[in-house]
Amino acid sequence: MEEKESSFSLMRYWLILKRRWLPGLAVFPPIFMLVFIALSAKKPVFIAEGTLRFQKVNTTSSLTGVGKELGDLTPLAEKTNPLSTEAEVIRSYDVVEKTITTLNLRNEETDEPLKAQDFLSNLNVNEIQKTDVLKLSYQHTNPKLAAQVVNTLMAVYLEHNVSSQRATVRAVRKFLEKQLPQAELQVRKLEVEMREFKEKNKIVAIENEASKAVEIITDLQKRIGEIKSRIADVDAQFKSIRSKVGVDTEQAVLVTTLSQSSGVQDILKEIQQVESDLASKRTKLLDIHPEIISLEQRSERLKTILQQRIEEVSPNQRIKLNSKLQQGQLQQELSAELVKLESTRMGLAGELFTLGNLERTHRQRLRNLPSLEQQQRQLERKLQAAQSTYSLLLQRLQETRIAENQNVGNVGIISKAQAPEAPSVSPSNAYYAAALVSLLGSLGLMYLLEVRDKSVKTVEEARDLLGLTLLGIIPSFSKPKISIGNNQGSELIPKLVVRDAPRSPMSEAYRMLRANLKFMSADKELKVIVVTSSVPKEGKSTVAANLAVAMAQMERKVLLVDGDLHRPIQHKIWEQNNTNGLSNVIVGQIEIMKAIKKVMDNLDILTAGAVPPSPASLLDSKRMASLVESFASYYDFVIIDAPSLNLAADAATLGQMADGVLLVVRPGIVDSVNATLARELLEKSGQNVLGYVVNAVNTQNEQQMKYYFEEEYNTNESSRDTVVVKPTNSFF
């Protein structure tokens, strides 16, 4: 598609060149002479050139590894070119002014210091394609000065490049020196927070503490289980021995202690002896007997002494005197074992309590470890980030201090400018320059003439302008003409090619027009057709006549009516008398059948007749409408040749009576303004516009139709180029 549009544009330019070559050729010589004389009169100008090479990264930085980002030629935007940016820096005011000041450049005409604008007008900074090289060129009448300017400009730019990089590094260094103490303070602050956190939560190695705590809890659980088992065993033994001894541990301890006290045992023995004697005496004596009373009193005294001794042995405990204060060896051992088991149970219970507390403590610590670990990691991340920032700032500060002392940029001189030996404009170059300017002037004139010319030139332009249906294209011809009168002062009239040259491409074009009209009448029959044009001389009458012949050749009854009461032409084409015609029929001067003339098989013609003073009033009458209806009822086709749309409103009036309007367009005759007005007039008047036919098309201007319009038929009628017609008496 793009290739087709490109070829179409080229063809359009070629056609413009063919139409306007003569005025373009006329202005070429004077422009050439003026430009050549102007170039020859000027002083010779010398151009000195120098080149600069740019590197993406500073060579020193790439070798030392310091400041690699400084002076990097990476563009900010995706579609920008770093070399173009550097070219603008070379053309900057500071660099140019310093160069002018260094060389003390002055204006040759005013002897004043050279202005930056004048300097830049002679300076060119161009990028060499597919390289990292900029070419600097300066033109001047003095070759040595031109070379000095280029070399000085490159030196100033190199100095500016290094100084700008140093300024950037200096600004970075100051920024780093300001930020480094703050970064160090932040690191110290976070280190203190980390230390306080570990001290507060007693953290040494929190990663190992969790696994260690699990091991400790497991061991404690194991020990607690063992102790509980031992306590159960001791309780069982304790209950068994207690049931045998019959006392609790306190009593067992007291009884055992009293049993082992000699003072208590001696008193017990005396009491036992007195009670034995008392029992023996009571068998013989009464209770009131003095011996009995003496033994009872002695027993009471001994019991009092026993109670005192018991209190001495166990002052905090009371024991009944009737209790068993004497035990056997086995009972003493059982009591001792009972006391031992109680002590063992109490010891195990204490150990169990201690181990339980330790387990709970370690479990609580284990539950708190994830939270502590999270807090520690947060502090570690902050500390690590602060340390990284501090290390990076410290490293960058050292790099900037080193980079600040570098004197080499990322640009270098490839070749210095040399004083040129020959001027830039030689006689041969003057010829070429003058020819180029003349060619551009000629092309500009041709383009200007083409823009100012509003005429429709091609079928494509007509289609874009009208926006109607294209029904046919009639090629132009030069020889087939009809000559009226003698050879002197004869008027050339278009020939009826469909009748006289039926095998010619033009005849085929009219037959195609006839076929297209037939296709358009597939739904509704078209019987009455008005043929008109935008302006005169577009060949509407010729199209109407040949279309009538083409329809008649289909053995259909056709009537051709000359409805142009302003400038009738059909009677000249058909060599008929115009004394009586349409105008006479409308006013009733002659009958219809007498006014209609038969010109060929199936084709009748009604000429315009006498030209009336007011053609519009005749055509816009009921009589004319009834005539059209009569024509339509009697003939298969009625073709009305109407006046041009810009000449009168007759075509619009006749179009209301007809089945459709056919618009004739002739390239080179009608312009875009009149064609647009004609289209708008037809649209506003509500006409049924069938379409348009392009007449007298120059096949040389229509490349896509050139092959179609080539002569393909060998006809015998081609020898009849002209026909001499004798003048007739007519209204003209």
Torsion of CA 282, 288, 289, 294, to 10 degrees: 90
* Lowest-confidence pick of 19-23, 286-290, 416-420: 19-23
Cβ distance 675 to 465 under 8 Å? yes
Please give the single-letter amino acid code of residue 476.
S
The model's confidence at residue 725, banded by pLDDT at 50, 70 and 90, is very low
Whether the per-residue pLDDT at 727 is higher than 60: the answer is no
- What is the C-alpha to C-alpha distance for residues 195 and 376, in angstroms, rounded to an integer? 10
| Element housing 50 (H / E) | strand 46-54
Whether 572 shows a pLDDT value over 60: the answer reads: yes
Q: Where residue 601 falls among pLDDT bands split at 50, 70, 90?
A: very high
Q: Looking at residue 256, what is its pLDDT?
A: 65
CA-CA distance, 204 to 516, in Å (whole number)?
103
d(CA 631, CA 562): 13
Would you say 595 and 580 are in contact if contact means Cβ atoms under 8 Å apart? yes
Q: Is a pLDDT exceeding 90 seen at residue 491?
A: no
pLDDT above 80 for 386: yes
Strand, coil or helix: what is 317?
A: coil
Select the more confidently predicted residue: 555 or 290.
555
Give how far Cα 29 sits from Cα of 26, 40, 441, 541, 714, Å.
7, 16, 10, 45, 46
Is the predicted pLDDT of residue 323 greater than 90, yes or no? no
Contacts of 514 (CB under 8 A, 6+ apart): 547, 550, 551, 554
Nearest to 705 by CA among 514, 530, 360, 473: 473
What span, in angstroms and rounded, lies between the C-alpha atoms of 604 and 597? 6
How confident is the model over 58-75, as a mean pLDDT? Answer: 49
Which pLDDT score, from 0 to 100, does residue 485 have?
36
**pLDDT at residue 270 in the model:** 76
Contact 694, 723 (CB under 8 A): no
C-alpha to C-alpha distance for 212 and 216, rounded to whole angstroms? 6
For the ranges 225-234, 253-262, 457-466, 570-579, the one whose mean pLDDT is highest: 570-579
Asked if residue 34 has pLDDT above 70, the reply is yes
Q: For residue 663, what pLDDT band results from cuts at 50, 70 and 90?
A: very high
> Which pair of structure tokens corresponds to residue 198?
């570990």
Q: How far apart are CA 724 and CA 484, in angstroms?
A: 6
Please give the torsion angle defined by the CA atoms of residues 637, 641, 644 and 648, in that order, rounded to the nearest 10 degrees: -100
pLDDT score recorded for residue 36: 66
> Which of 38-52, 322-336, 639-653 is predicted least confidently?
322-336
pLDDT range class, residue 490, cuts 50, 70, 90: very low
Instruction: Tell me the per-residue pLDDT of 416-454, one tens digit each, with 9 for 90 and over.
Output: 888 887 776 555 566 677 778 778 877 777 777 666 666
C-beta of residue 36 within 8 angstroms of C-beta of residue 26:
no
pLDDT band of residue 487 (cuts 50, 70, 90) is very low
Mean pLDDT computed over every residue of the chain: 78
**Which residues touch 505 (CB under 8 Å, ≥6 apart)?**
475, 708, 709, 710, 711, 712, 713
Is the full-model pTM beyond 0.75? no
In SS3 terms, 622-680 reads as HHHHHHHHHHHHHCCEEEEECCCCCCCCHHHHHHHHCCEEEEEECCCCCEHHHHHHHHH
Contact 278, 296 (CB under 8 A): yes
- 303 touches 296 (CB < 8 A): no
Q: Are 695 and 724 in contact (CB under 8 A)?
A: no
265-274, 281-290, 355-364, 542-551: the lowest-pLDDT one: 265-274
More confident site: 606 or 434: 606
Its sign, for the CA torsion 499, 501, 506, 511, is positive
Beta bridge partner(s), residue 722: 481
- Considering 37-46, 267-276, 590-599, the range whose residues carry the highest mean pLDDT is 590-599
- Report residue 570's pLDDT band, with 50, 70 and 90 as the boundaries: very high
How far apart, in whole angstroms, are the C-alpha atoms of residue 593 and residue 606?
A: 9
Contacts of 714 (CB under 8 A, 6+ apart): none
Look at residue 636 and tell me whether its pLDDT is greater than 80.
yes
The pLDDT value recorded for residue 708 is: 46
Q: Please tell me the predicted confidence (pLDDT) of residue 64.
A: 46
Name the most confidently modeled range: 70-79, 363-372, 373-382, 673-682.
673-682
Nearest to 651 by CA among 521, 529, 472: 529
Q: Are 97 and 123 in contact (CB under 8 A)?
A: no
Over 80: is that where the pLDDT of 393 sits? yes
The pLDDT of 275-283, averaged and rounded, is 79
Would you state the pLDDT for residue 540? 93
Q: Tell me which residue of 543, 544, 539, 538 sits closest to 456, measured CA to CA.
A: 538
Residue 276: band (very low, low, confident or very high) from pLDDT cuts 50, 70, 90 = confident
pLDDT tens figures, 132-145: 898 889 888 788 88
- Indicate if the pLDDT at residue 650 is higher than 60: yes
Residue 243 has pLDDT above 60, yes or no: yes
| Helices (runs of H) and strands (runs of E) counted in the chain | 23, 15
What percent of the chain has pLDDT above 90?
Answer: 19
Q: What is the pLDDT of residues 214-237, one digit of tens each?
A: 888 888 888 888 888 888 888 888
Q: What was the pLDDT predicted at 461? A: 80
Q: Is 229 helix (H, G, I), strand (E, B) or coil?
A: helix
Note the pLDDT of residue 241: 76
Average pLDDT over residues 162-178: 81
End-to-end CA distance of the chain: 55
Tell me the three state secondary structure of residue 601.
coil
* Closest CA relative to residue 46, chosen from 120, 138, 136, 115: 138
Q: What is the rounded CA–CA span in Å between residue 346 and residue 231?
A: 9
Residue 156, pLDDT above cutoff 50: yes
Inter-residue contact 477 to 546 (CB < 8 Å): no
Strand-pair category, 597-600 with 603-606: antiparallel
